[in-house]
Amino acid sequence: MQLPEGVTERDPIFPIAAASELSGLHPQTLRQYDRIGLVVPGRTRGGSRRYSARNIVQLREVAGLSSEGVPLAVIQRMLDLENQVQELSAEVAGLRVQLQEERDNRPGARVFATNAAGGVVTLKGTTRVRRQTDVVLYRGPRG
């Protein structure tokens, strides 16, 4: 599903009629799923339901599994586990960023050196700079 620019898959933008059409489920079924906590949409200030693209995908999954005879309680557990995996994956990604920042900022992680022009450059602690081995012959002023 292609979303407008600036809208994420978790932004609640679809009213119940659109969600019903996109998921292939009756609006009353969507209300029932909301009541039992299976697929819970966002709400507007006025209290009307707004479904996200992620909710639409979940509704399609629920419809498919339900038509195959999978009980709603089992589907609920599956959705809960999917959500948990996504949350944990996001947390792991954040922790990886934090770990890299810690590694980059600990003492000895960065080394300061000078370049050929005399400017200061920052290197990672494990980086080795290739030394230039060119020989320059200076003959002094001729005369």
pLDDT tens, position by position, 92-118: 999 999 999 888 788 766 677 777 777
Number of residues that this document lists for the chain: 143
Domain residue spans of the chain: 14-105
CATH classification of 14-105 is 1.10.1660.10, yes or no?
yes
pTM for the complete prediction? 0.64
Percentage of the chain with pLDDT > 70? Answer: 84
> Average pLDDT of 1-7?
78
Measured distance CA(118)–CA(107) in Å, rounded: 24
Measured distance CA(70)–CA(65) in Å, rounded: 6
* Type of residue found at 100: Q
